[in-house]
Each structure stands twice: as C-alpha cells, then as structure tokens.
Structure 1
C-alpha cells in the first residue's frame, strides 16, 4: 500500500470526524439499529447454552450465580472497558476494524518489514475469521428466534428449519435493494427489543432479587474454584454474550465513537444485564427451566407469539448488520490487495458505504442455508460459534498493542499492562473455544482457513506479477530519450495506459508501440494506488506530472473504503489543466494469460489457485467504470 501525501492519523481524542455532521440523537439511534443486533440477540441462546448445551452445568444456586457473574464481568471488561473506552480511540481517520489498524501501522512499521508482514497476515486472519462469523450469525440468530415457536406448541417443531431457511433466503434476495429504506426503522425496532429485554428481566428480578448477588465477582472466582477445568470449559458458552463486540469497532466509521458509547451505556448494556439476570432469577426459582429456553420462559403465554416475532425481526437486523459488514470487509480487502476484483453495486446515491457485492452475497447465503440444514438446532450450531469472535478479539488486542507502542508511543510497561488485561480475557475465551472445534467449531476454522489462504495467495501472486513486470519496465528517461530519437508516428487523440506502479513505462505501452509503431499525441500513464486512510479528499486524489513529448504521469489515490472511478479521475485531471473527454479517449489494459510452469517461489497448488482467482476476477473495464467501446486489451503470457 503506497503512502499518501499526508500521514495517517490514529486519533486518541473524542473527535468523531465526518459522522458528527448528523445530529447526535439520530446517529445514536442508527448505531443502535445497525451494530448492536448481534450482541443484542445473544440472550436468545447464551444462558440456555451455559446450562443445557454440550458443556452445560447443573443449574444449582452456586452455578447460576457464578455463570451470571462471568457474563456480567465479561460484558464490563471485554465490551465496556476494552472496546467502548479504549479500542474505539484507535480510529484511522474515523474508521475502525483490523484492516484499518493495519493501514494505520504501515508508516510507523515501514522499516520493520518482517514485523509488518506478520501483522498483515494477522489482519488477514482476523478478516477471514469475521467471514466465518458472518456465515454463522444469520444462521444461529434466526434459528434461535424461530425455536421460540416450540414453546407455544410442539406442533411447530417440524416448521422451525423450513421457516428459518425461508427467512434467510428472503433476507439475502433482498440485499440487492440496499438497506437505505429498512435502515430507518432498524433503530426504533431495536429500542423496542432492548426495552423488552430489560422489562422481562426486571419483572423476574423483582420476584427473585437475590440474583443480584451475582454482580459480585467473588461468585465468578468461586465458580472456577469449584469446577476448575470444567469451569474453564464453560467459558466457551459464556463467550456467546459478547459476540458482536467487534462490530462496535468495525462500524465506528458510520456513526462515530460518541453515539456508540451513549447507546451502549444508556440502552444496550442495561437491557442485556437485566435480561441475563432475569433469566438467572427464573432459574433460581425453577431450575427445570434450563431444559427449555430460559429466554422465552420469561414471557407470559399471552405475549409469546409477539415476542417470537420481535426476536425474529431482531435476528434479521443482526444478520443484516453482519452481512453488510462482510461487504465492507471485502471492499477493503480489494483495495488493500488481498482479494481479486469483484462487482460492487452502490445501493444508495447519498450513503457511499451502502454497497452490495453479488458474489459474496450468494456464497454467504449458500453457506448459511447449509449450516441450518446440517445442524437444525441452535444448540448444535452454538458449538461452531465463538471461536471466530474470540480469535478476532485476540488479534485486535495484539494490533492495538502496536498502536500503543509505535503510533501513540506509550511506554512498554503501560502497553503490556493494559493489553495484558485484555489478552487475559481474550486468550481464556479463545482457549475454551478451541475445545469446541471438534463439536462444530471446525466449520469456522475451515471457512476462515479457506478465506485466509485465498487472501494470502492473491496478495503473493500479485507481488510476483509486479516483480515480473518490474523486470520488463523501461526507465522513463531512457524511453523518452529513445522516443525523441526514433520519432514514431503520432496519431490524434488521447491514450491512457494503466500501470501497476507509478514508475517507469508500463509494458502495455511498450507492447503497443512494438506492434503498431505509433503513439497518440497525448499519453497518460495512470496508476491507481491504495491509500492508508479510509477516504481521500477530491482535492488530494489526483496528481499530474508533465513528462514532456505529450506524456503525463497521473497518480490517483483511493482509500480502502472507496472504489476507483475513471470518470471522476479524468474529470479531476481536466481540472488540473489537461482537458480530457472520456468518450474520445482510448484505454489500454493488460490481460495476462498465466501458467504455473515458471520458477517463481510459490507452491504449485497456490499458483493454480492464484490463476483460478485471476481468471474469475471481475473485468477491469467494469471495475474501473471505463466506457467499454473505448477499451483496448493487450494480452501477454506469463509463467509464474
């Protein structure tokens, strides 16, 4: 990733950048509807899994108070302390997420190439794990919501899986229309959801107020003292209460940190804690409820069906947030060179962040439906849940340590003390979830491994291609000198030659000159570069350098949250004094035919994977928004 003209800023202040242009109340409401769906639906299955799942414990008084204490302090330390107070401060020009952190560390770690390489793999691993999370979240959320029907009547049991598949199918088919319309009602629905969570829990707490003893962390300590190893294993179920925590950071750029903090402290955290403790109070009163679903047991029969409906809508919102997050993640990965070009459809003219990627959508849909049809019960699917979340949280802590040390210049002992506390929780949860791999967690590992291998292979393959073309590239001054002596025929018009790097003469131009022995009277050598920041201002996007003899070097930079746009680039070039009409300009692109028979230091199977990905990448003409009838592709054969 080339450096931008201005250094990347990782803020420690409470400035919220561009999102603060909107009223604080509306931002807080929108944040509630978009980023809290995942963690907001966790009461549907967390307590249930702690007492009746594959690693469940007996619902004795000591166990109930111990589990509730673990849930409460996990929310307080991992979400409130780690993410809401500290990690949200590490924004990259207002954006968050593992790729954002990676981009921010490019400059301070520029001289530590091996260190940077390790962090790049870690960031890709974190992104890959989020893909696994993005597949499981819609499946388990909707399935858990629909299972509430069986609380009303046993006759509904055969319809739970078909209804779940139908809802998921409708959700993914609706993605192409965007979330601009339904997003407006997400916030109010989630207020109703968290209000219902809190009200149902509060009623049960009034009936059994001694459940509040679990606020004391001593009960969590005593739980471990009694159960020891099995207490550690129980963390694999407790971790379900903090799923979705990474979304607080990843989606920060849409809302700003202040609205996220206000919503968490004022609505989400109270609603979650009250509901968890309400379920605990119900178990203290009647331990047999652990055999069913304590969440739905909170509701009177009269409101059970409305609660199932509300839970289903909340689950859809949770799924929508994760699906949208996967789209954004894929866009970032494309810009940072980790995935091939894919078709990106912008679903809103006002909100640039609202995108739809068909390839990703249908792949995630097939994976979700496969999980539902394979596992059929949320309890079985819960075994696959949690590993991706905890591994991603661990990676975020590691990268946050590097921000503290090399961006903010904290002392070593301060950085170790703070991140050590975070890693104590992260590693404990991760270790417990490793034990779940054989029970279903292997699915997450397989999905993440497949995505990670593909990302690293694509990145390494593009590096090999760049080195190949670097050997063929002619220095600019040598080419212009030879051009002045040779004086080939110059035809009227403008030609744009796309180049991977803004150095030397691209091989496509040399290829064209060799076969046609003529050049346009005006030639632009265009390189589109990925910046370290999420977005680039229009005034800083394009740099134009006159090289002489009608040649111009053009550098266009796009942030990792943006997509290249050729009409925009040429318009900005025209404003800098080089008037260009896109519809009378010829665009020359290189098209490689790759073979895995070369001496490049890459495993044969990885070469074949890279060639497969390259052949199936979205065509450059559409990706860069070029007029199709003005594009000339020059083919070359490359042996990797």
Structure 2
C-alpha cells in the first residue's frame, strides 16, 4: 500500500490547507466549506475511482501499467495518425519526472510543519530538518529498500486508519458536513466564485488526487484486483473520512492552529506521535516516487527513448529493485533546491499540480485510442465516457496553468526539457541506424565465401550488430567490414553476430533468442546470427544469454567468458554537408547525450570477464 497509495494518501496533509489558507484562499464560510469539500470528494471519486480504477486499469500491457505501457500499446498499432499520441505520452513521461522533484519536497515539508503546532520555536528547524530527512532518504537508495520495505505496509495501514479515525470523530461532532456528498454544492461554489476564483479553487482541489496515476503505474507489481480491493476497503473510505473531518472542523468554528487544518484535528497529547507517523508516511510516499522514477527511466532506456544510464541492481532475487545514480542525485538536487526556494508546503503547493494535470489529460487522450483499437468500443461509447473525463482533466490543467508564474514553470520546464531529450535521442538513434545501414558492405554470401578461403585464427568473435541478419543476401554490418580490413585478410574461426531487440512489451514470454546458421563445419568453424529479445521491464543481460548459448548445438561457443572477444561499435555522429541549422543544433544535443550515456556493452551486462573491443564508426546525419 505504501508504494501505490503513499502519494495520494498524504495529500490530506496539505490539500485542504491550500484551498482555505493558501494562494487564492477561499473564505471558510459554511457554504464555501461544504462546497469545497464536495469538490474534493467528487474529484477523488470521478478521477481515481471512476476513471483509473474502472477504466484505465483495464489498459494493461501484458499485465503492466503506466505511461510507457500505454506507449507500448499505442506503438503496437502501425496505422497512420497515431504518431501524435506517442508524442503526447513522451511529454507525459517528462512531466512525471517533473512531478518527481516536487512530491518528496512538499510531502516531507508538510509533515514536518506539524512541529510548528507543537511549539512555534520549531519554525526555524522545519527547513533544515526536511533537508536532513531528504538527504538520508536519497543516500540510502544505493543499498536498496528490501529490508525496510517490510515495514512500509504496516506504517501506511496505521496512517490510513489514523486519518480516517480523526476525521470520523469530527464528522460525528458536526454531521452537517454530510451535505458535501451532494455534488451540486460544489458546482454552486464554483459559480459563486466566478471564473477567476473558481480556477484558483480547482488549482487547490487537484492536490487531493496527486499520486492517483500511481494506481496504474504500479499495476504490474501488485495486480489489478489487489489495487482495487485495497482502494475500496481502506484507502477510499479513509480519505473520504479525513476530508469530511477537516470540513467538519472548519464548520465547527474552532481555531485553526498555524493555518493547518489537518493537525488541528489531532488531540494535543497525540500531536508529536502523529507528526512522526506523518513523516514516516511521507518518506514512504517519497520512496515510492523515487523507485518509480528509476523504473520509468529504465523503461525509457529499453524503449530507445532515453540515453543509457548506469543501473545498479540492489537485490539479486528481484530484478525490479534497482538504483540509477544519475536519476537519484538529479532528483535530490531538485528536491532540496525547491525546499530552499519555497520554504513551506503552502508556497510549494503553488507550484504543484500542473504536471499532474498534464499527465492525467494525456492518459485520457491515450485511453480513447486504446478503447477503440483494443476494446473495440464504438465511437459514441468512447465519446460518452472519455469526453466528460477529459473535460474534467482539461479544467484542472487550465486551473493549474495559473500557477505557471508562481512556480509551476519549474516542473513544467523540466518536463518539456526531458521531452526534448527523449525526442532528440529517439531521432538520433533512428538517424544513426539509417546512416549505419546505408553503408555499402559485403553481403553475408560474400563473407561466407571469404571465410571458406581465408586464413583462420582460433578465436571466438562476437560482433554486436544493430540490425538482424536473416539471409545470405543481407549486407554484413559496417563493423565487420572495418574488422576485416584491420585483421588483414584473416578471420576468427567462430564468428557470432548478436543483435539485441527491445520489444514494446514488458516481458518476453516466448524464446529469449533466435539463431540463424549461415555456415558451420568441423574444420572451418561457424558463422551464426543470434537475435536476443527483451521486454522493456527486463534486464538486458547479454552475457547471461551468451552463457546459455554455449550449450546450443549449432553454435561453437565455449562456456567460459574469458575465451570470448566481443566487438562493439561506437558511432561518431557528424552533420552531413547539407544539414540545416536545426539539424546541427539537434546533433550537438544528441552528441552531448551520447557522452553521458553508458556504453552499450556495459548496459548489456558485458562485465570484466569478457574481452571487449570498441571500434569508432564515423556516420553523417542529415
């Protein structure tokens, strides 16, 4: 539960505060309190319960969910007109990273701010303590979370039980808050505030559903049914009780201590334990988001949308437990910078929500294609379901666009920047592949003939190639031509070409590799092409697959990696003579990304036991 519901579960810490005491605060009159709480309740119900649990969770890609699972589903269909959806989903992925720097900062800040209610003297330690907690959180990522992960569930269970209980106690005192269950009360408040005021209000209300997309993103880890059951049995009732309770407290007219409605519900004797529990819950929520960012980055790498980064597996038995140093420290710098710049959860809330709204609208748009292509829904049904949901998402996006100059430009700018990185990397890899494939080289038939007459040396050469070799009429890779020239007319006895393919599915259920035999004899060795296939959720460990290949009857490959030599290419991309200014600028960015990218042989798990030879291949891009 901590992974799936940590973010949305800690929203009660700051959502109501932002509505009534934040930027564009709404006066806490009886009508406004009932109406605003009604908007919060029905937003959670429509967006999370109705849209995500009922519809979006059905859009699984081989059991996996999330932005890139949707990307894979849309990408499977090759018909024209869907390209813009891929761009929208890439932008959504960038916005998720933008959200990733705000969520830990605002969550931990809002929890620690409870200390100011205990005594105002704690005011000066809120920011340093928040930075200390975040520093500790990011520092321990290298060790993994397998051990501490066991306590996540009980802590979050205690958290939801506590916020539900404190909320229910206030509802019993002021049952008139049940009027908020009428959705018309929310619409009445929106009308009374006018266009500007209603947009400001919606900008605060959206904070109640931040983290709602995690239900879909984590579906592959926990399954559709457990997520739905835990939401309906515990999370949803606890959130509803908490928000109703905060509204009931405001209706009662009791003083709101330090403009913090959430902690005002807590009895004085339980305030310090509740601050500790809230801090633990926000750390768990932050941990879930950090782990999600690692997973999102590795999926983007596997799909060819992001430079290859160094990935550390923190648990031998669980491939999904990973650590990406570059992402970790980028998030850390972003989080700490936001804490120092904004200083409080109220100020930071002004920057929160824009990226979340963009992701949710992108999901609704993509779902129309999924419903049509995979569920075979008629267009009247699709429009009847997703147009109203899209209108809700668009309303929240419009409302949060007002936060642009108040700090919303930070996550949005980061999201757009990462979108630019993904599109540039995708373009560069495609252009490099096209230029690489266009080089004139000998055919496989010519290579076989050369090997029949050439002098052989007793070596097992593995050549990494960018495209499959299926027929004797296929051109051999440009790297092979370079090696032939370098070897001076002699060839290794066993020549194995290896291509790595990443499918647009999370896991490959059929054969891990496919073998094409071009030549084999006892005295002249073999020429073999091997295509290795991985899903975007899998670890592309080529060395492990090569060890499995050692027992293949058609491949003369020793089981000892010390007896292999792997040849890989590193393209040196240069602009073509007729390349325009935009293409040259894009190529400079692509070259910069290549410099921070982990070499392919390292990314594919070719470790120290394997002899590696890297050759530079010049290619010109238009």
Give TM-score, length-normalised by structure 1.
Answer: 0.92
> In the alignment, is residue 139 of structure 1 matched against residue 105 of structure 2?
yes
Q: Is 1:60–1:287's contact at 8 Å kept on the other side of the alignment?
A: no
Residue deviations 1:491-550 (CA, integer Å, cap 9, x gap): 11211111111143111111000121222111111110011210123x511000101252
- The CA distance in 1 between the partners of 2:477 and 2:381, in whole Å, is 49
- The CA distance in 1 between the partners of 2:388 and 2:88, in whole Å, is 20
> In the alignment, is residue 88 of structure 1 matched against residue 67 of structure 2?
no
Q: Is 1:52–1:291's contact at 8 Å kept on the other side of the alignment?
A: no
- The CA distance in 1 between the partners of 2:205 and 2:235, in whole Å, is 18
Q: Match of 2:515?
A: 544
Counterpart among 484, 491, 496 of residue 524 in structure 1: 496
RMSD: 1.6
> In the alignment, is residue 587 of structure 1 matched against residue 566 of structure 2?
yes
Q: Match of 1:186?
A: 152
Counterpart among 583, 595, 601 of residue 603 in structure 1: 583
> In the alignment, is residue 572 of structure 1 matched against residue 569 of structure 2?
no
> In the alignment, is residue 295 of structure 1 matched against residue 265 of structure 2?
no
- The CA distance in 2 between the partners of 1:413 and 1:615, in whole Å, is 50
Q: Match of 1:23?
A: none
Q: Is 1:92–1:100's contact at 8 Å kept on the other side of the alignment?
A: yes
- The CA distance in 2 between the partners of 1:600 and 1:638, in whole Å, is 13
Of 600-609 and 353-362, more deviation after overlay is shown by: 600-609
Of 388-397 and 547-556, more deviation after overlay is shown by: 547-556
- The CA distance in 2 between the partners of 1:377 and 1:257, in whole Å, is 36
Q: Is 1:64–1:284's contact at 8 Å kept on the other side of the alignment?
A: yes
- The CA distance in 2 between the partners of 1:194 and 1:446, in whole Å, is 34
Shift of 1:416: 1.3
Q: Match of 2:617?
A: 636
> Which structure 2 segments of 5+ residues have no match?
470-474, 521-525
Counterpart among 43, 47, 57 of residue 16 in structure 2: 47
Of 490-499 and 333-342, more deviation after overlay is shown by: 490-499
Q: Is 2:116–2:258's contact at 8 Å kept on the other side of the alignment?
A: no
> In the alignment, is residue 241 of structure 1 matched against residue 208 of structure 2?
yes
Q: Match of 1:9?
A: none
- The CA distance in 2 between the partners of 1:334 and 1:283, in whole Å, is 48
Shift of 1:138: 0.3
Residues 51 and 291 of structure 1: is their aligned pair in 2 closer, same or farther, counting only changes over 3 Å? farther
Of 36-45 and 339-348, more deviation after overlay is shown by: 339-348
Matched positions, count: 604
> In the alignment, is residue 559 of structure 1 matched against residue 535 of structure 2?
yes
Residue deviations 1:243-270 (CA, integer Å, cap 9, x gap): 0010000010000011100110111111
- The CA distance in 2 between the partners of 1:284 and 1:479, in whole Å, is 85
- The CA distance in 2 between the partners of 1:576 and 1:398, in whole Å, is 47
- The CA distance in 2 between the partners of 1:604 and 1:474, in whole Å, is 27
- The CA distance in 1 between the partners of 2:578 and 2:333, in whole Å, is 38
Q: Is 2:435–2:620's contact at 8 Å kept on the other side of the alignment?
A: no
- Partner of 1:625: helix, strand, or coil? coil
Of 473-482 and 68-77, more deviation after overlay is shown by: 473-482
Shift of 1:71: 0.5
Counterpart among 277, 294, 297 of residue 244 in structure 2: 277
Q: Is 1:473–1:505's contact at 8 Å kept on the other side of the alignment?
A: no
Residues 74 and 216 of structure 1: is their aligned pair in 2 closer, same or farther, counting only changes over 3 Å? same
Runs of 4+ in 1 over 4 A off after TM superposition: none
Residue deviations 1:50-94 (CA, integer Å, cap 9, x gap): 011112110011110111110111111100011011110110111
Q: Is 1:94–1:253's contact at 8 Å kept on the other side of the alignment?
A: yes
Counterpart among 167, 176, 187 of residue 201 in structure 1: 167
- The CA distance in 2 between the partners of 1:481 and 1:348, in whole Å, is 44
Of 227-236 and 201-210, more deviation after overlay is shown by: 227-236
Q: Match of 1:26?
A: none
Q: Is 2:442–2:481's contact at 8 Å kept on the other side of the alignment?
A: no
- The CA distance in 1 between the partners of 2:136 and 2:575, in whole Å, is 42
Of 353-362 and 503-512, more deviation after overlay is shown by: 503-512
Shift of 1:596: 4.3
Q: Is 1:211–1:277's contact at 8 Å kept on the other side of the alignment?
A: yes
